[in-house]
Amino acid sequence: MPCGSRQPIAGDMAGSKHDFRNKWRRGREDLAFEAVSALLSPFRSRPPKKNGLLNLGFGRNRREAYVNADFFPLNLLHRLKGEEPQKVDWALDLRRPLRCDDAFFEGVYTEHVLEHLRIADTRRLLAELWRVMAPGAVIRIIVPSLEKYAAYYAGEVPHENFLKWKIRAEAMWNLNHNWGHKCCYDFELMAEVLAEAGFEDIRRCDFGEGAEPRLLLDTPQRAWESLYVEARKGGAAAAKA
Does residue 74 bind ligand SAM (CB under 6 A)?
A: yes
Q: Which of 57, 73, 107, 210 binds ligand SAM (CB under 6 A)?
A: 57
The answer to the question of residue 90 lying near ligand SAM (CB under 6 A) is no
Q: How far apart are CB 198 and ligand SAM at their closest, in Å?
A: 21
For ligand SAM, give the closer residue by CB, 2 or 42.
42
Of the pair 8, 85, the CB lying nearest ligand SAM is at: 85
Q: What mask, x for binding ligand SAM by CB under 6 A, covers residues 170 to 209?
A: ----------------------------------------
What does the DSSP 8-state code read for residue 82? T
Residue 214 in the binding site for ligand SAM (CB under 6 A): no
CB of 20 to ligand SAM, least distance (A): 19
Per rule CB under 6 A, count of chain residues that contact ligand SAM = 17
Range list of β-strands (E), the chain: 53-56, 67-71, 90-92, 105-111, 133-144, 200-205, 226-232
φ, ψ for residue 220, nearest 5 deg:
-60, -35
Query: Starting at the edge strand that comes first in sequence, how are the strands of the sheet with 226-232 ordered?
Result: 90-92, 67-71, 53-56, 105-111, 133-144, 226-232, 200-205
CA distance 47 to 54: 9
Write the single-letter amino acid at 226. S
- Smaller CB separation from ligand SAM, 71 or 152: 71
How many beta carbons lie within 10 A of that of residue 220, not counting itself? 8
Q: Is 41 in the site for ligand SAM (CB under 6 A)?
A: no
Triad 168, 172, 176: Cα angle to 5°: 170
Least CB distance to ligand SAM at residue 54 (A): 12
Pairing outcome for strands 133-144 and 105-111: parallel
The pattern of x and - marking residues 105 through 144 that bind ligand SAM according to CB under 6 A reads ------xxx--x----------------------------
Q: How far apart are the first and last CA of the chain?
A: 74
Binding site for ligand SAM (CB under 6 A): 57-61, 70-71, 74, 92-95, 111-113, 116, 219
